[in-house]
Amino acid sequence: MNTSASEIKVVTSAFIIIGNEILSGRTRDVNLSYLATELVKIGIRLDEVRVVQDDQLVIANTVKALRAEYDYVFTSGGIGPTHDDITCESIALSFGLDVHHHPEALKRMKAHAEKRGVEMNEARMRMARTPLGASLITNPISAAPGFTIENVHVMAGVPSVFQAMVAELLPTLRTGTKIYSRTVVSNLGEGTVAKGLEKIQNKYPSIDIGSYPFFKEGVYGTSLVLRGVELNDLEIASKDIFNLIIEYGGNPSYGDEN
């Protein structure tokens, strides 16, 4: 049975990647691909991504703009123990809130420090700060939590910790209609299949068909990705594209599915 337009629940989000090390190219971001993949699985649409510098006003203004536009805003980076970890203050500025040492965060950090046999020093105390009124995002790896204030979810930049926080956070969020995808891989270029592909797109207006060229192992080809809420329609449309490639003399195959 097809899902009507009134039954489709759209939940949108944006992702802010914070850090000069990302912008300088010294650190390669891997959190975006992980978050995008996990959001697709549960029906939250990632509509925008921004990478911003370690500047309090830039971060605050970016958060303020995006939290007004999207259902959820996720951030990564800048909640560590050093002087340039300014995300907490920046988020607080965005909401006009003061910063404090969250009692539960302090408790978790002190217990973790005792377990490791290290001093709960000033640097570690920094990681227990949140804007007033924030709730915590559990960090099962290194104890220092992320936090949520309204629809903004603030997480660490270290990939293993970020992923652990995402796993804790996502089950608590409101989700929308899941978007499924099918991929047809072609050894033909975009220019060859463009006209026929346009006809198929017009035939299935409820399906989003994207064309992504590649050059791999000496082969120039195109991955054709179909996205929609109805699996049956996706299957039929992907078969049409499969047959289109054969018609043009290509060798199609099916790619990854979700």
For the chain, 258 residues long, give each residue's pLDDT as a single digit of tens: 455 555 789 999 999 999 999 999 999 999 999 999 999 999 999 999 999 999 999 999 999 999 999 999 999 999 989 888 999 999 999 999 999 999 999 999 999 989 888 888 888 899 999 999 999 999 999 999 999 999 999 999 999 999 999 999 999 999 999 889 999 999 999 999 999 999 999 999 999 999 999 988 888 899 999 999 899 999 999 999 999 999 999 999 998 765
Could you tell me if 24 and 128 lie in one domain?
A: yes
Could you tell me if 168 and 185 lie in one domain?
A: no
Q: Give the per-residue pLDDT at 149.
A: 98
Q: Give the per-residue pLDDT at 257.
A: 61
pTM summary value: 0.88
Could you tell me if 125 and 16 lie in one domain?
A: yes
Could you tell me if 167 and 189 lie in one domain?
A: no
Question: Are the C-beta atoms of residues 245 and 186 closer than 8 Å to each other?
Answer: yes
Q: Give the per-residue pLDDT at 1.
A: 47
Could you tell me if 124 and 242 lie in one domain?
A: no
Which domain range does residue 248 map to?
180-254
- Residue 116: partners with Cβ closer than 8 Å, 6 or more residues away: none
Residue pointed to by tokens 């009692």: 103
HEC profile for 156-221? CCCHHHHHHHHHHHHHHCCCCCCCEEEEEEECCCHHHHHHHHHHHHHHCCCCEEEEEEEEECCEEE
Could you tell me if 95 and 200 lie in one domain?
A: no
Could you tell me if 209 and 94 lie in one domain?
A: no
Question: Are the C-beta atoms of residues 17 and 77 closer than 8 Å to each other?
Answer: yes
Last residue of a domain, one of 120, 147, 172: 172
Question: Are the C-beta atoms of residues 82 and 124 closer than 8 Å to each other?
Answer: no
Question: Are the C-beta atoms of residues 101 and 134 closer than 8 Å to each other?
Answer: no
The CATH number assigned to the domain holding 247 equals 3.30.70.1130
Q: Give the per-residue pLDDT at 4.
A: 53
Count of domains for the chain = 2
Q: Give the per-residue pLDDT at 32.
A: 98
For 46, phi then psi, to 5°, come to -90, 110
Last residue of a domain, one of 172, 204, 229: 172
Could you tell me if 204 and 120 lie in one domain?
A: no
Could you tell me if 116 and 219 lie in one domain?
A: no
Last residue of a domain, one of 156, 172, 188: 172
